[in-house]
Each structure stands twice: as C-alpha cells, then as structure tokens.
A and B are shown apart, each in its own frame.
Chain A
C-alpha cells in the first residue's frame, strides 16, 4: 500500500471518490432494502379499502389504479365495481363513468406520480377527500370527461342481423349462437373481452371474411344521442404484425343507401383501439361493414357507442 505522499493528486481524488461512492451506495442500498417492506400495504389495509368502497361507491363509478399495475386491489374491490389499471390507463378518459375512485400507493418506489397527475387530473375534481388505509390512499374524483352512454352496440349485439356480403350484394347469413353469431365454420361474431395495446375492452370480436367480401352488422334502431363514437382495434399482437401479406381492415358505418357515415381504417402495424366521432347519425337503417382482403392476423374488436349530453 503506497503512503499518502506517494499517491498522485488524481489517484488520491479517485481513491476518495471510489471509497465515498461505494460507501454511500452501500448505505443507500441497505436502507432501500430495509425500508421497502414498510412501504407496502397489508391485507388489512386492502380489506378496509374494500369496505370503504362498498359503502361509498355508486352505480356507474369506476376504480382507477395508481400505479397502473397495482392490481392486487382487484381482489378486494366489491363485485360490480369495475377496476381499471393497464399500461396507459392514467390517461384513460373513462368517459362512461361520472365518478372515479383512485386507489393509489404513492409510497411505492419509482411510482411516477407527477406523470400520473399530469395525465389524470385535468378535468377531474376531488369529490371525496383522500382516505388512508395504511399505505393505501382512496380519493373520489368527479370525472369532467364523463359523457353519459345511451347506447353500446356490444351490449345489444343479439339485436343485430349479421351476414357476409359480396360486392354484388349476395348475402350469406350468419346464425345466431347464444348472444353472438356464427358465420360458416370459421368466423364468429361475439361480445368478448379482448386486449389491444394493453387496454382491456369488452367489445364485438370478429374477423373480416377476406377477399372483397364484407362482414355486415345491420344495426337495430338507435336512440337519440348527442354524439357517436365508432371504436375498433386489432386485438392482442395483431396490430403489431406487419408482414407484407397483411392488409388493412376497414370498418365503415353506412346509411341505408350504402353511403359512408363514418369509417375507420386500421392500417397494418397500427396497434391499440382507435375511434372516430360523429355528431349525429342519419335516420333510417344503418349498418356496419368490416372488410380486409387478407383476413390473416386481422382479428379485431369494435363497438359503436352513443353518448348523451354532458352534465
């Protein structure tokens, strides 16, 4: 070991720096590991949270998780109260819900609270002040992005008429099976849970029939609404796939004269749910057509939602 006088200035500086850095890192890491268990909620915390929600939640409310992945809360949230937590859910407008219960764990390390607040807080106001259950927080918010839902096609799928149509207008009807339909041996149309770019949705699952044929859903009479949203996305990893053989999926809302009222084109490689808005729909019969020349990897999920006036 060289005596201090023999260490050059640079070496001395490096020696101090490395010793200091190692010591501080060791202390920090040790503190982190010792403190971490005390920053986690207990089962009792979750049980109390569940009881609070059971007392205060109203029909139409929703629970939003922060951080988005803290899904253990789903074990304790009362039945019937939907829980939303997925990669990107911080920015979900949660349009259908007038009130949002945010279950948060702000003491978890690396929780990115400021990012959450930037995405979530605009147009939201505190309706029920924060309650604490150990390391859990529960805050009720009025959802300023709420728009009452007056119609959801996926909930009335059985009232539609479904068939496959070729460009000449020839039709092959699809048979009702349960609440959905079966078209031949391969295609089915059902209201199901699916995921697109991490977002879970209950929507109408179907596959385009391919070539120049379309899958057609003739809609039941629609209620009056202040605005309509046509929403669709290729499910799971289908949106990501981008082989040269793949083709876009086109979803078109048509009136009785086959004129396009609204359309969505899901390009190859486009992930997630996408939507197009229409203020008013024409009177008379309407239908949704779905078409993609190559049905390979084109499984998709769609919905048509009618909104009432915002409060």
Chain B
C-alpha cells in the first residue's frame, strides 16, 4: 500500500493522539460528575495545595504532618493522576483562567486517554498493518462507555493506558534499545495510577522467561565475553527471584502480622529486596554483550522490579515517612473492598459469589455489536491459531508471534481477574478496561483479515482496501451513532445485543453508574426551582453539588438538602437497589407523581419530584 512518505507510523500515532484529545476536550461540557470524580477533584486540589506549600516553605512541606494534611484525603488510591489533575487545575483554571474548573481538572485525563489510540496503533501496525491498526485505535473510543470514562478525572481509563504502555514497552524492548527501562518506568507509573497494575508482572513474566530460555538455547557453551554460560545466567536470574520469594514467605510466616511494621529501611526485608536486585543484575547485565535477546527479554522484568517500587514511592509523598505501613494499608483496603449492589439480569447482586459469566455478558451487552463481534471473532481466531500451533504439522495456519500472544493474554487477563466470583463486580465495565485496547487490536486484525480474505475469494476486481474500508465504515457507523445519541450519559449505554437501553431495562440491567446523569435535569431545576430552594439530588454527594455550582451548571442560590425530608424538590437517580429512596420521596412529598425526568430511550434515569 502507498502512503505519503511523511506520514510515518509515529506521525500517524501522534495524529490519533491529537484527534482523540480534541474529541474528548471538545465534548466534556455536558458530562456530569460521577460520585468518585468530585472526590478526586477535591483530592487533586488538596494535593496541588501541597505543591504550592512546597514552593513557599519547602522544609515545612516535607514534614509528615504537612504531607498528611494534604495527602490523607482519598489515600485509598495512589496520586499520580490526582496530582496531574490538581496541577492542571492550578495552572489552567486558577492561574491562566483558560478553562472552566472541571475541564481544567480533566485535561490530563484526556491526554492519558488519548495515549490509548496512539499506543494501540503503534502496537497493532507492525503486527497487522496500518489499516487494521487504525481500526483498532479508533474502535476504543467508539465504545460509548469507554468514551465517557475517558472524559472523567478518574483512574480507570488512565490505568488502561498505562497497562497498554507497559505491555507495548515490554514488547518493543525485545528488539533492543531503551524500551526495557521504559517498561519499568511505565510500570511504576501504572502502579501510581491504580492497583490493577499489580497484575502486570505476572502477565509479562512468562513471555520474558520464554524468550530468555529460547534465546539461550540448551547450550552450556561459554562465550568468549563471559565467564558463565548464558543459560546458567538465566537460571540464576530465576533462582534469585524464587529465592527472594521463599525468603519473604519465611519472614512473613515467622513475623506474622508484624511483617509490615518490621519492614524498615534497615531490615531483612530491605536486604532481601536489594540482594534480589543485585543478584538478578549480576545474572542479567553480562547477557547484554553475549546474548542480547536474552538480556532484552529479562531486562524489562528487572526494570519493573527496580523502577516500579521506586517510582511508586517517589510519586506519593504520603509514603515518604511511612512507606511500608501505608502501602500495606493501601493494599489491604483493596483486598477487602466493599461490594456495592448491582442489578444484573433481573437480580440484585449484593455479595459474592457473583456469576462467572458476568464480565463476558456485560461486555457483550455494552459494546456496540459492530465492534463486539470482530473483537470476539478476533479473539477466537487468535486463540484458535494459538491452540493449533501446539500441533504444527496438522495446521495450515502460521503460529502466532510473541506480540500476538501478548495481545491475546492481555485481552484475557483483566477479564479473568474481574470474572473471579469474589472480586467486586460494581462499576459496570470500567474495571476491565485494560483488556479493551487489546480486544480492539484483535477486532482490527479480524476486520482486515476478513476483508483481505474476502477480496481474495471475491475475485481480482474487489480491492482488499476498498472492502476493508466499506466493512469498517459499516461496523463503526452504528457505534458512532450510538455514541452521539447517548452522550453525555455514557454509563447508561447498552448495545444492540441488549436491544439498546430499552432492551437492557427489560433484561433487568443496571441503568447508570453513578449520579452523573443528573445533568439531564439540572436545566429544568435551574428554571423551575424557587429562589434559594433546598433541593435533594439523590446520590449526588456534596462535592458534586458544589462542582455543579462552580461550573455554572446549577444555580448558585440553590442549597443542597440531605434528604427529601427537608427538600422542596428532589431528583431521584433510578437504581433498582435504591427504589426505597424513591418511596421515601413519595412519602415526604405526599405524591408519587413526578414533575420532570430524564428518560433515555424511554428508560427512567433521573426522576424529579416537587413537594406538594
């Protein structure tokens, strides 16, 4: 295929980044604030305040009390994104005044989300070609729920971007260059974004070992440049890591619950960590000269172990004075996260075990069919080829490359993790977003393959690119229409397989998550609420109420009511698990008849009542 010579993959990737950033930035005005986002806004402002203190009084800012004052709020999540949100707000809203408050907070979210099309394209293009890569890059943001979440100053899309960056760096590292240490840096940033990243080493490690062992072969020959056989160095690398695991296990068994409090700067724990880094480095670095392929396979793992914790520690001032204790609290918090009630196929899921098929079913119902089908077919096709590769003599298909297997595994692992029946299942689809860029790549590959094979079958007059273009437009058109129609209420979206929003309501699926759809009734409230009225915005927390007012979306004279008892107007968010709250409004207001509502394709989302 001919492309303009200036349009390199790098430039095309940057164009995709810019287009995605603009698409997100130009359409965020009506996107409401989900419950968590306003908390993150507040946290971001608090953290930005600490940076101002750091400039004014550095010695004071670096004390633990000053750090805790700013960073104690919302310390259940690391702060990379919140710091970026806060600094962006400080610069672009408070200092320069270029953007409204919410948009200024969200700019780093747009930028991080825009990395996904860029990285998706850069990963897919060498494997499946530019056109498949373009389809993959665009597909991610055509999924309405993904587009919506990309506009929030939250962590779910950023961690998907970071996950993709880690995998991309790991893959690129196999060809040499600087990507091996960038992989470690990316892992540190991923960890600094959200705890999902903790699973990443387990995803890339098998590939690293496979490549390292394949590169060193069975030979025990000595290289002229090394004193030990390469295979022995790889074995040594593995043995040191396993040994460290055993030692930590012994320490944990011996020290019990005091394991974390005894993890001090000068402690056996630290010695084991440093010895592991040193031991693995001693095994690893000589390989760079003797067997570079083995070095570049294992080096990203070493960088993950070396840089990951350092970046994580450095990025979060809250850890600086009590790193282990506070990291342990953070991990413990997520190991025992609450289970929020969730409506699924007519049942309220309140506690584990949750249905095993939940993630797959929910994905099928919430990704537009034109994108879901190529994702599923692409996954099955690559999975089938991977299985067939186990019997190379009997298959006509080429064995998948390591890059393809990486994509397959990363399309699967985030889904498998959340599919575990004891993992919290609330939040719609956002918890397995890290799988979606990889599924998009598989979709692009599938469409390209179908088009090229189809052109081959249909005869010489059908050009593969024309068929691919037509097929892509056809598959993407319904997604684009649904994206435009649902905006800015992305968490309410259901695709064609569900029968749209009406079909999903009849199936008994969750309507929304969580509270941002109230923007659909704010103009009515602004127009009809008496001056100074107390209004009860159900499930809208105090931070969000304040944010709607400071972003000019809610009249400043209106006051928040804690419940229907002291409100003149109430906006109920339709959640099946909260129907009792609607009854409370009926009871307090003396009427069951609403005065207004947000009904998306007839499905009630937000229902407004006025006191009789």
Residues of A within 8 A of B (CB): 1-4, 7-8, 10-12, 15-16, 18-19, 21-23, 25-30, 32-34, 36-37, 40-41, 67, 69-72, 74-75, 77, 79, 82-83, 86-87, 105, 108-112, 192-195, 198, 200, 235-237, 240
Contact = CB atoms under 8 A, between A and B. Distances in A.
B182 interface: no
Residue among B474, B507, B508, B597 having the largest count of chain A Cβ atoms under 10 Å: B474
B593 interface: yes
B560 interface: no
A17 B482 CA distance: 26
Contacts of B505: 67, 69
B499 A109 contact: yes
A30 B474 contact: yes
Given A75-B596, A108-B602, A32 B496 contact: yes
Nearest to A26: B474
Q: What 3 A-B pairs are tightest by C-beta distance, nearest first?
A: A110-B503, A110-B499, A26-B474
A32 B594 contact: no
Residue among B454, B485, B579 having the largest count of chain A Cβ atoms under 10 Å: B579
Given A29-B478, A237-B341, A41 B508 contact: no
Contacts of B446: 18, 22
A236 B449 contact: no
Nearest to A86: B579
| A interface: dominant SS | mixed
B68 interface: no
Contacts of A27: 474
Contacts, number: 176
B579 A15 contact: no
A28 B372 CA distance: 13
Given A25-B370, A67-B506, A193-B587, A87 B455 contact: no
Contact of B583 (A19, A26, A41, A200): A200
| B interface: dominant SS | helix
A112 B346 CA distance: 13
B502 A15 contact: no
Interface in B582-602: 582-584, 586-587, 592-597, 599, 601-602
Given A15-B454, A25-B369, A195-B580, A69 B396 contact: no
B603 A69 contact: yes
Contact of B502 (A4, A8, A11, A111): A111
Given A15-B450, A16-B457, A195-B583, A22 B377 contact: yes
A297 to B, nearest CB: 13
Contacts of B502: 67, 108-111
B508 A87 contact: yes
Nearest to A2: B456
A304 to B, nearest CB: 20
B604 interface: yes
A160 B583 CA distance: 24
B474 A10 contact: no
